[in-house]
Amino acid sequence: MNKNKIKKIMSIAMTVVLLTMGIQGCGNNSTVQSGSKVNEVQDINNAPVDITIMDIGKADCILIKLQDKAIMIDTGLNKTGNEVLDELKENNINTLDYLILTHMDKDHIGGADKVIDNINIYNLIQADYVKESKQYNQYEESIKEKNITPILLHEKITTEINGAEINIYPAQKNYYEKSNDYSIIVELKYGEYSFLFAGDAEDERIKEFVSSNNNKYTFIKIPHHGRYNDMSEELIKSTSPSYAAITCSEEEMPNDKMIDILKKYNVKTYLTSDGEIEIKTDGKDISFNR
């Protein structure tokens, strides 16, 4: 994408600054701590698992391609909805097997109406609560027009798609003070590698998740755009990732305390403010590219 080419040039100038913050970028020389062995390579052709974390500012949209199947986690902001559609078009995707909306904040469901209006959705999964907002209303209108009944997630869903195991975890309570704590958490396992996508989970949601799940992960999408909370270190300590990604913008960067935690545990961290992130694995090797 042209946008990413520009950001690659800008990121070179930022390298020294980012390294002092503890962000290790795209190099292969970092020491990692993980629950599994990691074999990082430059690229993997025709990878059976291909994950794209879009560069759309401080917002989430993650596309997971599993050969002839596709999953999307969140849809970014309303203003970037066309970018999300372009990403799907570039990947020749006109059907999503799963569209998972982790929670109802505008930076996660803003593009949902455009996706639903233009793409076939086999399974739509959402957190079970209502949020008063323009974006939520647009989403509701779109699913009514398309006659789609979303799955209001209350129990864990486990499914297998082309050799990948997908686990979709609901929030455990019916009510939270913070909208972010309703976040659905998604886990993907393929071969020797595992991935965790934590929505915008804050301290209460993180606490309940790590209390009921002792899995280790190769990669974690850091919740809430790198904001620090009282459970941030426990999340990294308990999940033991080798790699992380943070969805952020140049204007709204991650919290320094969160970066310090990632540095402390030697987690190789990528920022979408530097461009789109693509992760591929064949179950034995893994690659990270922009």
In this prediction the pTM is 0.89
**How far lies 252's CA from each of 21, 180, 207, 223, in Å?**
15, 18, 25, 14
Q: Which residue has the higher pLDDT, 2 or 108?
A: 108
Helix axes 232-239, 203-212, angle to 10 degrees: 20
Contact 221, 51 (CB under 8 A): no
Gap between the Cα atoms of 106 and 183, Å rounded: 13
Gap between the Cα atoms of 25 and 274, Å rounded: 9
Per-residue pLDDT of 182-220, as tens digits, reads 999 999 999 999 999 999 999 999 999 999 999 999 999
Q: How many CB atoms lie within 10 A of CB 199?
A: 28
Range with the poorest average pLDDT among 26-30, 65-69, 182-186, 236-240: 26-30
Q: What is the pLDDT of residue 216?
A: 98
Per-residue pLDDT of 144-192, as tens digits, reads 999 999 999 999 999 999 999 999 999 999 999 999 999 999 999 999 9
Query: What number is the average pLDDT over the span 14-43?
Result: 52
Contact 23, 11 (CB under 8 A): no
CATH topology of domain 2-289: Metallo-beta-lactamase; Chain A (3.60.15)
Q: What is the pLDDT of residue 93?
A: 98
Q: What is the pLDDT of residue 3?
A: 52
Q: For residue 104, is pLDDT > 90?
A: yes
Closest residue by Cα to residue 60 from 48, 74, 70, 80: 74
User: Would you place residue 68 in the very low, low, confident or very high pLDDT band (cuts 50, 70, 90)?
Assistant: very high
Cα 37 to chain centroid distance, Å, stands at: 22
The single residue listed with the structure tokens 């179950």 is 283
Strand ranges (DSSP E) for the chain? 49-53, 62-66, 69-73, 95-96, 98-101, 120-121, 124-126, 151-152, 157-161, 164-169, 185-190, 193-197, 219-221, 243-246, 268-271, 277-281, 286-289
Q: What is the pLDDT of residue 174?
A: 95
Q: What is the pLDDT of residue 18?
A: 42
Between strands 185-190 and 157-161, the pairing is unpaired
Contact 209, 131 (CB under 8 A): no
Contact 115, 137 (CB under 8 A): no
Q: What is the pLDDT of residue 32?
A: 34
User: Would you place residue 290 in the very low, low, confident or very high pLDDT band (cuts 50, 70, 90)?
Assistant: confident
Per-residue pLDDT of 240-257, as tens digits, reads 999 999 999 999 999 999
Closest residue by Cα to residue 244 from 230, 252, 224: 224
